[in-house]
Amino acid sequence: MIIVLKPDVSQADIDHVVQRIKDHGLTPHVSAGKERTIIGVIGDERAIENLPLSIFPGVDKVMPILSPYKLVSREFKHEDTLVAVGPDRTIQIGGTRLHVMAGPCAVESLERLMTVAESVRAAGATILRGGAFKPRTSPHSFQGLGDEGLDHLIEAKKKTGLPIVTEVLDTRDVELVASKADILQIGTRNMQNFRLLIEVGQTDKPVMLKRGLSATIKEFLLSAEYIMKQGNPRVILCERGIRTFETQVRNTLDLAAVPVLKQLSHLPVIVDPSHATGKWELVAPMAKAAIAAGADGLMIEVHANPEEALCDGEESLKPPKFHAMMQELKKVAAAVGREL
Amino acid sequence: MIIVLKPDVSQADIDHVVQRIKDHGLTPHVSAGKERTIIGVIGDERAIENLPLSIFPGVDKVMPILSPYKLVSREFKHEDTLVAVGPDRTIQIGGTRLHVMAGPCAVESLERLMTVAESVRAAGATILRGGAFKPRTSPHSFQGLGDEGLDHLIEAKKKTGLPIVTEVLDTRDVELVASKADILQIGTRNMQNFRLLIEVGQTDKPVMLKRGLSATIKEFLLSAEYIMKQGNPRVILCERGIRTFETQVRNTLDLAAVPVLKQLSHLPVIVDPSHATGKWELVAPMAKAAIAAGADGLMIEVHANPEEALCDGEESLKPPKFHAMMQELKKVAAAVGREL
Amino acid sequence: MIIVLKPDVSQADIDHVVQRIKDHGLTPHVSAGKERTIIGVIGDERAIENLPLSIFPGVDKVMPILSPYKLVSREFKHEDTLVAVGPDRTIQIGGTRLHVMAGPCAVESLERLMTVAESVRAAGATILRGGAFKPRTSPHSFQGLGDEGLDHLIEAKKKTGLPIVTEVLDTRDVELVASKADILQIGTRNMQNFRLLIEVGQTDKPVMLKRGLSATIKEFLLSAEYIMKQGNPRVILCERGIRTFETQVRNTLDLAAVPVLKQLSHLPVIVDPSHATGKWELVAPMAKAAIAAGADGLMIEVHANPEEALCDGEESLKPPKFHAMMQELKKVAAAVGREL
Amino acid sequence: MIIVLKPDVSQADIDHVVQRIKDHGLTPHVSAGKERTIIGVIGDERAIENLPLSIFPGVDKVMPILSPYKLVSREFKHEDTLVAVGPDRTIQIGGTRLHVMAGPCAVESLERLMTVAESVRAAGATILRGGAFKPRTSPHSFQGLGDEGLDHLIEAKKKTGLPIVTEVLDTRDVELVASKADILQIGTRNMQNFRLLIEVGQTDKPVMLKRGLSATIKEFLLSAEYIMKQGNPRVILCERGIRTFETQVRNTLDLAAVPVLKQLSHLPVIVDPSHATGKWELVAPMAKAAIAAGADGLMIEVHANPEEALCDGEESLKPPKFHAMMQELKKVAAAVGREL
């Protein structure tokens, strides 16, 4: 940590800052420059990251040197983390082979779910997605089938062999969902629901953590750190678009986040182009772009009859379009040295 | 709702849309213009707000006419809502008299809390704030005293007579916090934690709902609608800054939201300049501006010794500065026809 | 255009709006719904787009149906525009074949320019970029060689055969730059420098228009409309990142803008991953993603010795890295049915 | 400047960075910490601000300590700058007395201008605003009366005695506009039209510089620095709203920018609530808030008949509303120790 002092700082102010740093077991190093005096802090600056040094008399600003997260960082663990999914852990997310999670936004009925599940499996998806508990912006919208939806997912898993990923919204549901799902999804609105992160961090299931709508990459990684700190290292990061001023799309897919996250962290990164764009016709180009950018997988919404969908029909692909897209994705994957 | 059709739409496509609207009990009204044909929908368009009409063949775009919220809207209830606070409900938020909630970011000890509580009461604050459960960006930061913090707040309330407002983070804590606090605070990161909104909507305590970091005003009102839909009409809206590209301040305080919210909704609106700016020296100018803009109250962080604060020391006012600010605020309040 | 009236609108207010619409030669169509009365406007609504109908008594809101641009729209011209570049117009931007514009951020000396020019041509770039007039955020930064820089570009063009693209900043320079460059670049900060757009619209040179840092897609297309309205149809759109809250990268590359622009407009779209990310190590993944998303070409910064660059050294590729990237891009291009 | 090195940096890399810093006449100071080695740079770091140190081998990141602007900074000039306006320089912007610039968005005719000019003077405005050259998002919108508009402004000034502020869009017009206007306005879209900044920096007229739609405060001050660097110290900063995700208002008025700018710079700061909000009913609350926040003045759009306005009718106040607002503003001004 570097503490930049004001041009007119007094010696007493300097001494005060120096003493407080020493109190925390760190070593301050004062360096008087031509225009400014600065204090460098030797030692693990995380010990004082909550000390509000910027308001100490004579202090102009405080610049951290280390990143605030540790367990998720590339410095902490150099090699890529592979997250194994499913009962027999045969699916490895984060390796050369890409994985596509596909299915409806919400589980609407067993029959509809089965139709989609069979078709996405046939097209090459390896994980089935489907929402049982749905976080909806309006209280007047369909909120999901809940428990019954989970059972439909279990049924679909039995018949197709596809492991399932589904969202958990409430700390009170974690145990239940963890007993049924293969991957626990933390949605974008809950990225900083810290109690929920702590709960899923105490399960032994992989967690797919979606980036918050307006979360910085640093905050995203700190939320992953919450999960890992509880002892669960099986975290999959998911970029799903951020909120910007542009209104032609639902959100702005931040694909540069993919290589940035892989530089900073050892965790696998997947992309959800369906929620990011909110328009089915943009899903295929953005899915291709995500793979070209280095994503380890995709999450895609598919619905047999989007006109009838109870949520997000606008962005859902019909099975034939999903199938065609998967064929194109295989080519792009091969072009960047990956398999699908 | 207005459905704009594509220039090359076929009659079959028009018929299909028309039929689907009729299926939902609404009346479509087709109008062929020079450049475009449009379909107006007569009836309560909320019946079809989840129907993904924009992907129907021949449809170009869909434009809702009504706002998606109802209970919180000015159309639903024309006169201002006054939210009564405290055991004897003598404090009324939303009237001519402004109310200031003040206190430390986090409850750190009974002694520290008491010092601040006495001083803010003396300066004119009418409600005591203090966090027992703290949502922190990093898992390595202080997370609050929890239950013990609540007890300290109760103690401070007994001694000062100030009703207390404190945050609830987890559905599992709502019952406990509602049994002790006078106002339940929903923090910015939980504005779309819908399960939590539903739980606090089932209590009989006033709820102070903070705007999400990147929530639109529409989404903010829909979250308030969640609470009201459960039967709790005592909602106080709180503007606390939104995320933008600017880095000189923590967030950008959106003061135009105050008159906009009061135009669209009957609920009272307060402003939190401490969290919005993240810098104590900006709190007083922004507090004055908030009152000038028409806010019904303020939430202000005060700490006897910000250098020692376990959270948000950077933005906390010392008691003498808080006192001085309150004197200035009285003048601004009077200038806009309010009392403090 | 649809005009939504307030719930309590009077007949006199309706009559007033109706009359004003008729005064402009358009036909109003009043439709009384259950909750609201609306007025549809038949005819070319652009005739009244500056009429502030939203403030007319009784009006709640105004919703345009048509897009405000015309000449650039896909409706106006259905087939893709190919922009021919160079003295003999052999390069066609917007077709199956992709084109890469490469070179240094700024022309620094003839010698340095020649080194880069030769190397990018050898690697497969077909157009040479280089700034002679540089718009710099700080007045204390290097502002470009000006006229001399243009002459170096001409010299490099003679020796390599590569047509040149360079930025013009000032209406007073348009004639000069147009006499020397093959493509006139309008930089991101000048996207709404309307006088400059008008001037380049009066030349017979192709114009590469960069999207403004915080321009919506609609505003971007309206700026292109300025150029086309002057009679110059040879406009190339360039996505180069938008400003968001994220600070890990310079800007957020909005790749969904590529398919969206191609849906709305017939103009070719290229992508500049160098300026968007501001980091050389992100250029290759974002270049690949851009092509996968459907871009018609790329603009890439290359410098023989980025450590010595007078501007944007951080994001410049060294020639060997550029060469390696071009090889990878060829594969991605082939995977999406394009050539490079 | 602090250069943070990578954990695995080699001695050769350190030596290389050290040498390059010395080459620029500055003194590097290497400090090996527990987790990282850092290099502090002693001397005026602006000498190396364009050196791309972040890409040097072994470098992790570079953190500037000094602000990149100088002439506009509070450190350079401690006391507030007063900008004198008008032929006899009797109006001083930046002192205890606030000044309101008011008038129509665009000059539409001499008659209309005179009506507004007389009424705003009567209400207490001290400067007349009016656009002769209008930057419009669409090429199909009214672009201003140009030269004729300037002459109308001169005429209005003669009759009312109010000095005039008007926008200049093009470097070719600066001489003309400077010969007629009392304050040259640089609009939000031209905040980084550096050639225009240089031209107005060479006149002897005060310049009102509007903040760019997505400009950081640092960039805003650097644009002011461009003007001052040319020798013109009479710069007035104008906050007018920034672009965010919120769509209920045209832009988000960033009132915290007022105290922040006044902390960082000695230049006066005014606020334009009309353009910021885009809605006339939000102008008065935001004008009051601006004064409460410490603004030195306001710019307000007034039109005798907004329904007929050729631009920005939505946000224009009618003279009686403007008059009423001025009365309220006087009270708020008094409450914060200012006069109006």
A306·B213 Cβ contact <8 A: no
Q: Mean pLDDT over all residues of chain D?
A: 95
| Structure letter (DSSP) for residue A313 | G
The predicted pLDDT at position B88 comes to 85
Question: In this complex, which chains have at least 3 CB pairs below 8 Å with chain B?
Answer: A, C, D
Among residues B65, B64, B51, B44, the alpha carbon closest in space to that of B16 is found at B51
Tokens read off for D203: 């006149």
Would you mind telling me the total number of residues written for chain D in this entry? 340
> For chain D, what percentages of helix, strand and coil (3-state, to nearest 5) are there?
40, 20, 40
SS3 C16: helix
In this prediction, residue B287 carries a pLDDT of 98
The DSSP annotation for D133-149 comes to S---SSTTS----THHH
Whether the pLDDT of residue D34 is over 80: the answer is: no
Which of B214, B239, B255 best tests the D interface by mutation, with the highest count of D CBs <10 A?
Answer: B255
Q: B168 and B134 in contact (C-beta within 8 Å)? A: no
User: What are the b/e assignments for A106-143, b being 16+ CB within 10 Å?
Assistant: bbbebebbbbbbebbbebbbbbbbbbbbbbbbbbbbeb
**Which of A174, A103, A166 lies closest to A134 in space, CA to CA?**
A166
**C65: alpha, beta or left? (left if phi > 0; alpha if psi -120 to 50):** alpha
Any idea what the Cα angle at residue C94 is, between residues C89 and C99, rounded to 5°?
70
Share of chain C above pLDDT 90, in %: 86
The half-sphere exposure of A231 on its side-chain side, counting CA atoms within 13 A, is 4
Contact predicate B167/B187, CB 8 Å? yes
**Chain D contact partners (≥3 CB pairs within 8 A):** A, B, C
What pLDDT digit, counting tens, does each position of D276-320 carry? Answer: 999 999 999 999 999 999 999 999 999 999 999 998 899 999 999
- Outline where D142-216 has alpha helix (H): 147-160, 174-180, 194-201
Going residue by residue through chain A (340 aa), what tens digit of pLDDT does each one get?
889 999 889 999 999 999 999 999 999 989 887 778 899 888 788 788 888 999 999 999 998 888 899 999 999 999 999 999 998 888 999 999 999 999 999 999 999 999 999 999 999 999 999 999 999 999 988 899 999 999 999 999 999 999 999 999 999 999 999 999 999 999 999 999 999 999 999 999 999 999 999 999 999 999 999 999 999 999 999 999 999 999 999 999 999 999 999 999 999 999 999 999 999 999 999 999 999 999 999 999 999 999 999 988 999 999 999 999 999 999 999 999 999 9
Q: Are strands B27-32 and C27-32 parallel, antiparallel or unpaired?
A: unpaired
Contact (CB, 8 A) for C63 and B63: yes
A334 in contact with chain C, both atoms CB, cutoff 8 A: yes
Identify whether the C-beta of residue B92 lies closer than 8 Å to the C-beta of residue B83: yes
Residue D127 has pLDDT above 90, yes or no: yes
Mean local confidence (pLDDT), C73-83: 96
Residues B58-110 have pLDDT tens digits of 999 998 888 889 999 999 999 999 999 998 888 999 999 999 999 999 999 99
What confidence score (pLDDT) does residue C65 get?
86
Q: Which tokens sit at A265? A: 């962290």
For every residue of C129-147, DSSP letters joined together read E-BSS---SSTTS----TH
**Residue-by-residue DSSP string for A142-172:** ----THHHHHHHHHHHHHH---EEEE---GG
Residue C306 and residue C318 in contact, taking contact as beta carbons nearer than 8 Å = yes
| pLDDT tens digits along B37-72 | 999 888 788 788 888 999 999 999 998 888 889 999
Distance in angstroms (rounded) separating the CA atoms of residues B231 and A71: 44
CB D261 within 8 A of CB B246: no
Please name the amino acid found at residue A19: Q
CA-based nearest distance D225→chain C, Å: 7
Q: Which of D185, D191, D155, D157 is nearest to D173 (CA)?
A: D185
**CB-based contacts of B94, cutoff 8 Å, min separation 6:** B80, B81, B82, B83, B236, B267, B268, B296
What letter does residue A269 receive in the DSSP assignment? E
CA atoms within 13 A on the CB side of D110: 12
Q: How far is the CA of C166 from the CAs of A112, C100, C120, C232, in angstroms?
A: 56, 14, 16, 18
H-run or E-run covering C120: helix C110-123
Query: Residue A32's CB: how many other CB atoms inside 10 A?
Result: 10
- Judged by CB atoms within 8 Å, which residues 185-214 of C form the interface with A? 214
DSSP state of C96: S
Q: Give me the residue from A217, A281, A292 closest to C332, CB to CB.
A: A292
| Distant-in-sequence, close-in-space partners of B271: CB < 8 Å, separation ≥ 6 | B238, B239, B240, B253, B255, B258, B286, B287, B290, B293, B295, B297, B298, B299
Which of A1, A2, A45, A66 best tests the D interface by mutation, with the highest count of D CBs <10 A? A2
DSSP 3-state assignment of A128?
strand
Chain D interface test: which of C137, C211, C213, C279 (most D C-beta within 10 Å): C137
Sign of CA dihedral C107, C113, C116, C117: positive
Mean pLDDT of C134-162: 94
- Whether A44 and chain D come into contact, CB under 8 Å, resolves to yes
Burial class (CB in 10 A: 0-12, 13-18, 19+), D12: exposed
Rounded CA separation B149/B176 (Å): 12
Among A residues 54-83, those touching chain D with beta carbons less than 8 Å apart: 63, 65-66, 75
Q: Exposed, middle or buried by CB within 10 Å (0-12, 13-18, 19+), for D142? A: middle
Q: What's the confidence (pLDDT) of residue A276?
A: 96
Specify the pLDDT at position A130. 96
CA–CA gap between residue A300 and residue B29 (Å, rounded):
36
Query: Hey, what are D136's tokens?
Result: 């419009």
Q: What would the mean pLDDT of C122-132 be, rounded to a whole number?
A: 97
Residue A181's pLDDT is 97
Helix H segments across chain D? Answer: 11-23, 110-123, 147-160, 174-180, 194-201, 217-229, 257-264, 273-277, 280-292, 319-335
Contact A20 B55 (CB under 8 A): no
Among residues 118-147 of chain B, which lie with CB inside 8 Å of chain C?
A: none
Is residue B141 helix, strand or coil? Answer: coil
CB hemisphere CA count around B189 (13 angstroms): 21
Interval D53-101: pLDDT, tens: 999 999 999 988 888 899 999 999 999 999 999 988 889 999 999 999 9
User: Is A253 within 8 Å of A99 (Cβ atoms)?
Assistant: no
Query: CA dist B336 to A134, B294, D18, D203, Å?
Result: 44, 8, 60, 41
Question: Of D282, D196, D186, D286, whose CA–CA distance to D238 is shortest?
Answer: D186
Residues 227-246 of B with CB under 8 A from A: 229, 243
**Measured distance CA(C95)–CA(C337) in Å, rounded:** 11
Closest CA to C272 of C211, C190, C196: C211
Which is nearest to D293 in space by CA: A309, C40, B291?
Answer: B291
Paired strand residues for A135: none
Between A and C, how many CB-CB pairs are < 8 A?
A: 124
Residue of A221, A218, A275, A196 whose CA lies nearest to A243: A275
Strands of chain B, DSSP E: 2-5, 27-32, 37-42, 59-63, 83-85, 91-93, 99-103, 127-129, 164-167, 183-186, 207-210, 235-239, 269-271, 297-301
Which residues of chain D from 161 to 180 reach within 8 Å of chain B, CB to CB? none
Q: What residues contact residue A15 under an 8 Å CB cut-off, 6+ apart?
A: none
Do A34 and D40 lie within an 8 Å CB cutoff?
Answer: no
Chain C partners within 8 Å of A283 (Cβ): none
CA distance B173 to B189: 16
Contact C68 D138 (CB under 8 A): yes
CA pair distance B302, B193, nearest whole angstrom: 28
Classify strands A164-167 and A99-103 as parallel, antiparallel or unpaired. unpaired
Give the pairing type, strands C27-32 and C37-42. Answer: antiparallel
Planar angle of CA D103, D104, D109, nearest 5 degrees: 115
- The pLDDT value recorded for residue A31 is 86
C238 beta partners: C210, C270
